[in-house]
Amino acid sequence: MNYGFSPENGKLLYSFENFTLDTDRRELRRGPILVPMTPQVFDLLEYLIRNRERVVSKDDLIASIWDGRIVSESALTTSINAARSVIADTGEEQRLIRTLPRKGMRFVGAVREAAPEPPRPALSLPDKPSIAVLPFQNLSGDSEQEYFADGVVEDTISALSRKRWLFVIARNSSFTYKGRAVDVKQVGRELGVRYVLEGSVRKSANRVRITGQLIDAATGVHLSAERFDGDLEDIFDLQDRITASVVGAASLEQTEIERAKRKPTESLDAYDYFLRAMERFYRWSRVTNDEAMQLFYKAIESDPEFATAYAMASWCYAWRKIGGWMTDPAQEIAEGARLAWRAVELGKDDAVALAQAGHAIALLIGDLDSGAAYIDRALVLDPNLARGWHASGWVRNYRGEPELAIEHLARAMRLSPLDPTLYHMQSGTAFAHILTGRFDEASSWAERAFREEQNYHPAAVLPALPRTPSLSLFKAASNALAGRTEEAGRAMERLRQIDPALRISNLKDRHPFRRPADLAILAQGLRIAGLPET
């Protein structure tokens, strides 16, 4: 059953606390995380939310959810408790679902309604073989092993990504399908790819079994189905075999297959810590960022030459600076820079290490030339690295190369069209148009970025990603410079809430501009929008 409706299209998004209930997709998300539940619990929760203005009786629930069938008191209580559980409520607390003795119950949380965004248009296929690797199912019988299955997929994406003659969708977009029943043809349309790889991972003691199915997204035809078994210590060899199998099954030219892929680390303990850290990192909150940082440090302790662990730890410090979370900026910037320099020293042929560390070097200490050079090296090694093109776009802006920034950010958005950080790429594009004096175009991109951020975590939802001041900053400046003072004022009000310490006088400390003229034009827009001088 689907009880959510609107007069226009019968579909609604309900947002409350940090949850979003999508009546069209029949999904509940807590921030970016899909919350599993049975269809009946979804129906019950949706019915309570839709009828939140009144008390719902037991008879109402039975008539609507169970079609009037006889339902025992215990079964009804079990379903209500399950509905409370998925939204982190309890019968004792009754924070969201309140029971009124002898009357019924009512959903009492504050709810915001919105119509879902229209479906994205289908993307055209690239001019070379293209593939998306979907999250693999964890068949280990232990939810705690989810991080391992996700790590196998991310490493597989990275291995395929290094093939210069392939077009590979980034991890952040592939993982928007995690926990969902998907139609591979729809995936192909939404991501603009010819092939989709899906599979499963089973880890038991020291043994690993990985299965993979390569599917033609245009026809839905399975091109191959392979199973790979081995010891845990052989995990990198198993991943190489998956990559070779995919390439062979798709009948792709193998002119650049690296038969001897370098292992990221020789230490299984370090690798395990790293995978656990990445699982926390991708939750993009202040708490999980700090948890990820500590796990990256443990990976480094287990293998002091693990370049990617150093790079990701340095980027955790960069996130702290972006999010305004630093408590001792001088010490934290110095430590983040130390980690980044060590990453590029150790990871001369590691694209992810070079891209993340290069971006951190540029952002943390303002060394734009070194940062750009390391990112460029990463993109030579891995031209499909969306995070590398994303980083390059921002660094090019700060170097005074906005046209190149626009080009690089466009590459990032095509490689990861469903990325949770898409709004940051769009914000960077707005930034570039400000620097070129195209203020109307800049404000259009800033508005697009704002909508994207709201779609990912609506205003009524606690942010899953750090709400970076840059989005409101560029929206305020671009609108002010385009003469739209009312829109600029609203953006400035939001900016002052997110970053109350920002002033014209300390703008240069937040943004490492190379050209004084670029800093001046941004400062002028913010001054018009109402940012204080000191």
Q: What is the DSSP string of 76-130?
A: HHHHHHHHHHHTT--TTT-SSEEEETTTEEEE-S--EEEPPPPPPPPPPPPSS-E
Per residue in 59-103, pLDDT (tens digit) is 898 888 888 788 888 888 899 999 999 998 988 889 999 999 889
pLDDT over threshold 50, residue 39: yes
**Closest alpha carbon to 275 in 161, 387, 171, 123:** 171
Q: Residue 490 has which token pair? A: 């609203």
Band (pLDDT 50/70/90 cuts) for residue 260 is very low
Give me the mean pLDDT over the 266-270 stretch: 90
CA distance 85 to 91: 9
Here the tokens at position 279 are 């699982």
Between 262 and 219, the more confident residue is 219
Confidence class for position 17, pLDDT limits 50, 70, 90? confident
- Which domains are seen in the chain, by residue range? 13-114 (1.10.10.10), 130-249 (3.40.50.10610), 266-383 (1.25.40.10), 389-534 (1.25.40.10)
* pLDDT at residue 6 greater than cutoff 50: no
pLDDT at 357: 97
231: number of CA atoms within 13 Å, CB side? 3
Averaged pLDDT, 351-361 = 96
Q: Tell me: pLDDT of 420 over 50.
A: yes
**316, 277 in Cβ contact below 8 A?**
no
Q: Which residues of 5-31 are buried (b: 16+ CB within 10 A; e: fewer)?
A: eeeeeeebbbbbbbbbbbbeebbbbbb
For residue 118, the model assigns a pLDDT of 65
Percent of the chain's residues with pLDDT above 90:
52
Asked if residue 266 has pLDDT above 90, the reply is no
Which parts of 312-406 are beta strand (E)?
A: none
Q: Is the Cβ–Cβ distance between 153 and 174 less than 8 Å?
A: yes
Count Cβ atoms within 10 A of the Cβ of residue 70 and give its class: 0-12 exposed, 13-18 middle, 19 or more buried.
Answer: exposed
Token pair, residue 49, equals: 């939310």
**Given a cut of 90, is residue 342 above it in pLDDT?**
yes
Label the pairing between strands 130-133 and 195-204.
parallel
Q: Give the C-alpha separation, 332 to 209, whole Å.
A: 41
Which among 214, 133, 140 is positioned nearest to 177, based on CA atoms? Answer: 133
Higher pLDDT, 419 or 311: 311
The CA distance from 151 to 157, in Å, is 10
Give the model's pLDDT for residue 294: 97
Here the tokens at position 67 are 């079609």
Q: What is the pLDDT of residue 455?
A: 57
Query: What pLDDT, on the 0 to 100 scale, is given for residue 192?
Result: 94
**CB count, 10 Å around CB of 262?**
8
Pick the most confident of 111-125, 203-217, 432-446: 432-446
If residue 338 lies in a helix (H) or strand (E), which one and from where to where?
Answer: helix 329-346
For the beta sheet containing 13-16, the strands, ordered from the edge strand earlier in sequence to the opposite edge, are 33-34, 27-30, 19-22, 13-16, 112-114
Determine which of 118-122, 155-159, 185-189, 372-376 has the lowest per-residue pLDDT on average. Answer: 118-122
| Mean pLDDT within 511-534 | 95
How confident is the model at residue 249, as a pLDDT? 62
Res 255: pLDDT: 40
Q: Which of the pair, 383 or 179, is modelled with greater confidence?
A: 383
- List the single range of 192-206, 259-273, 501-515 with lowest mean pLDDT: 259-273
For residue 464, name the pLDDT band (cuts at 50, 70, 90).
very low
pLDDT at 3 > cutoff 80: no
Model pTM greater than 0.85? Answer: no
Whether 461 has a pLDDT exceeding 50, the answer reads no
Query: What pLDDT is recorded for position 408?
Result: 97
Residue 258 or 247, more confident? 247
Please report the pLDDT score of residue 321 as a whole number.
Answer: 86
pLDDT at 259 over 70: no
What is the reported pLDDT for 67?
81
Q: Is the separation of the CB atoms in 82 and 41 below 8 Å? A: yes
pLDDT band for position 440 (cuts 50, 70, 90): very high
Q: What does the pLDDT average to over 16-28?
A: 86
Residue 504: pLDDT band by 50, 70, 90 thresholds?
A: very high
Residue 456 confidence (pLDDT) above 60: no
As a whole number of angstroms, the distance between CA 193 and CA 168 comes to: 8
Mean pLDDT of the chain: 87
pLDDT band at 119, cuts 50/70/90? low
d(CA 145, CA 152): 11
Give the rounded distance of the alpha carbon of 133 from its chain centre.
Answer: 15
Helix axis angle, 73-86 to 58-65, nearest 10°: 80
Of the candidates 127, 350, 131, the one whose C-alpha atom is nearest the C-alpha of residue 242 is 131
377 vs 229, higher pLDDT: 377
